[in-house]
Structure 1
């Protein structure tokens, strides 16, 4: 039996999420209509329960294939048995010592520990991260790759839903078609606060140079145009537009290196790409110290991971916060009461301790396995 206040049991669940509406397309023909998520339930010896989640939009986008996540969680869970979840850095160190890499699997357990930390102390995760700097979070929404007519319609839908920030996916078979798509979206989204064009690392350096030259007169952000920091840095030298890096930023060190390479003006951090709240907090603080505005989010998933990202975002100094994103808005399934929802493009931070949400365990079914 686990000592009071230490981790005594970990249950691991698989959850299948289904997208609301049509399938969503990224650069290079990557498309998804459902997501394979993993949820962990972590219980201490005195009966407190914390929840974590990991899910990726599609395994062709970022590391995080569902079966591999769940396979790695078995030895990771054994590594943290008996640990005090309130000592989040020490728990993360145990996971790092047990298995190298697999940040996405570690993220689920790390989120659950922060949930437990908050419940044990009666504080929200945002307050444990230094204090909530705002109770509401401006959100962005994404527009996947589709025909120009469908794209214009989705731009109208985003405006009608109250979003003031929109991310437009690009990276089709032709850089000229991408320019046409960007110009159509800028026209359809006239008056919004921010438009981000995101190639998800798809463009070659040559194509990226041509695209940024063609859109240099437009007020847009350019996100992850090429696959590497070096390529993005070279492209940025030929552009007046601010650049956001995303997929290549897997921690604080990578932010420092990208900044030293003059490759970025802003940062997008995904919890699973970095390894959970604990290392994301470090990366966030480094970005702020360098004067880089940022977004904290994740690439997929439901209520749990969306809530966790909202806590980190709302504990960030407002002038360095670009906005937020709720991956849960992309899927139909709801597994928690009190999770943030998009209302006129804004999400509200939950009020309760820990993540501040109540999980509907009946929606999860039976765990795939238990470690105790």
Structure 2
């Protein structure tokens, strides 16, 4: 194998404006733009990619690069993600293969795409009034077409009491998944034991240990795998394998990001077997959807 070493790392900060104007979350949180970090890694033979301990390492040995990052700095998955994705991109350029092939091989699955349908204002976010929440969910699902998958995302903003009150006021037979209902592990487990509504976890699924704990406690039916929270493609590949082995469903997502982040989502999503892939969070700028799905 031809020698390839990291020779230079450049870091750039970019403010990415939210395409909808204002992005609102529970608790009055509002965002008009997102702070993105873009990394360019250059090798000694000139291969460069956008994305003092990594200098001299072979970027194709992605696990060894990650070992070096973890040895130098505990945590900080968001920062490591940029470097990890850049190494994978160099790996693809060096081999002439798409990243999805290097991650284990693409499937023939056309990936369902999901996008957000937010409420109109900060006073109307999920979790403040269980009766209003139930009415809003029922109205949103009233005209749901066959094959459409709906996630009700509380962003960890509900208590056990408010979640149970909301769920008990819903008409029977509504088909949806409740994502990240509560902020803590204890609340989530308590709610899980009192409802038959499928639950996805997002904010609580942020590493090897938490995903293994989800499986051990039967805490959820699937996870929202956000690459930057979980550490990039190297860690995402491992979390994919853990979830597939346990029969969990996966929605590949990102907190925010440019086409670089969205491309990473698509490549990882394309490697997940159809029975385990729920959705990817994508935009038309990343891939052109057909009937709500896309593929590489």
Normalised-by-shorter TM-score class: over 0.9
Distance 2:272 2:231 in 1: 18
Equivalent in the alignment of 2:4: 5
Match of 1:346 among 277, 285, 293: 293
Residue 198 (structure 2) pairs with residue 232 (structure 1): no
What secondary structure is seen at the aligned counterpart in 2 of 1:295?
A: strand
Aligned counterpart, 2:94: 120
Q: Is the 8 A contact 1:230 1:261 kept in 2?
A: no
> Deviations along 1:133-174, whole A, 9 cap, x unmatched?
136322011111226xxxxxxxxxxxxxxxxxxxxx952422
1:324-352 deviation per Cα after TM superposition (whole angstroms, max 9, x unaligned): 112x55xxxx7xxxx42445422332xxx
**What is the alpha-carbon distance in structure 2 between the residues aligned to residue 302 and residue 235 of structure 1?**
35
Q: 1:170 and 1:212, CA in 2 relative to 1: closer, same or farther beyond 3 A?
A: farther
CA deviation digits over 1:201-234, x for unaligned, max 9?
A: 0111211122222237221111110012221111
Alignment match, 1:104: 78
Q: Distance in 1 between matches of 2:191 and 2:154?
A: 13
- Where do 1:187-226 residues align within 5 Å? 187-215=142-170, 217=172, 218-226=174-182
The within-5 A match list for 1:211-360 is: 211-215=166-170, 217=172, 218-326=174-282, 339-349=286-296
Q: Is the 8 A contact 1:252 1:284 kept in 2?
A: no
Q: In the alignment, is residue 175 of structure 1 matched against residue 130 of structure 2?
A: yes
Local SS of the residue matching 2:275: helix
SS in 1 for 2:11: strand
**CA 1:42–1:341 in structure 2 vs 1: closer, same or farther (change >3 Å)?**
farther
If the length of structure 2 is used for normalisation, what is the TM-score? 0.92
Per-residue deviation at 1:250? Answer: 1.0
Deviation at 1:176, TM superposition (A): 1.9
SS in 2 for 1:133: coil
1:12 and 1:40 in contact (8 A); partners too: yes
Task: Please state whether the residue corresponding to 1:11 is helix, strand or coil.
Answer: strand
The number of aligned residues is 292
1:17-166 to 2 correspondence within 5 Å? Answer: 17-52=16-51, 78-134=52-108, 136-146=110-120
Structure 1, 39-48 or 209-218: larger mean CA deviation: 209-218
Instruction: Report Cα offsets for 1:219-278 as digits up to 9, x if no partner.
Output: 111111001222111111111111100111112221111122221011111011011111
Q: Is the 8 A contact 1:28 1:171 kept in 2?
A: no
Flag structure 1 segments of 5+ consecutive residues without an equivalent.
53-77, 148-168, 350-372
Please state whether the residue corresponding to 1:50 is helix, strand or coil: strand
Distance in 2 between residues matched to 1:170 and 1:261, nearest whole Å:
29
- Distance (Å, rounded) in 2 between the aligned partners of 1:102 and 1:216: 43
Match of 1:69 in 2: none
The partner residue of 2:139 within 177, 184, 187 is 184
1-structure distance, mates of 2:145, 2:97:
41
Q: Is the 8 A contact 1:197 1:220 kept in 2?
A: yes
Alignment partners' CA distance in 1, 2:81 and 2:20:
28
Distance 1:262 1:316 in 2: 21
Q: Give every structure 1 segment of 4 or more consecutive aligned residues whose post-TM-superposition deviation is greater than 6 Å.
A: none
Considering Cα pairs closer than 8 Å and 6+ residues apart, tell me whether 1 or 2 has the greater RCO: 1
Please list every run of 5 or more consecutive structure 2 residues that lacks an aligned counterpart in the other structure.
Answer: none
Contact 2:127 2:133 in 1 (8 A): yes
Question: 8 Å contact 1:27–1:170 — kept in the other structure?
Answer: yes
Question: Structure 2 CA distance, aligned partners of 1:216 and 1:239?
Answer: 14
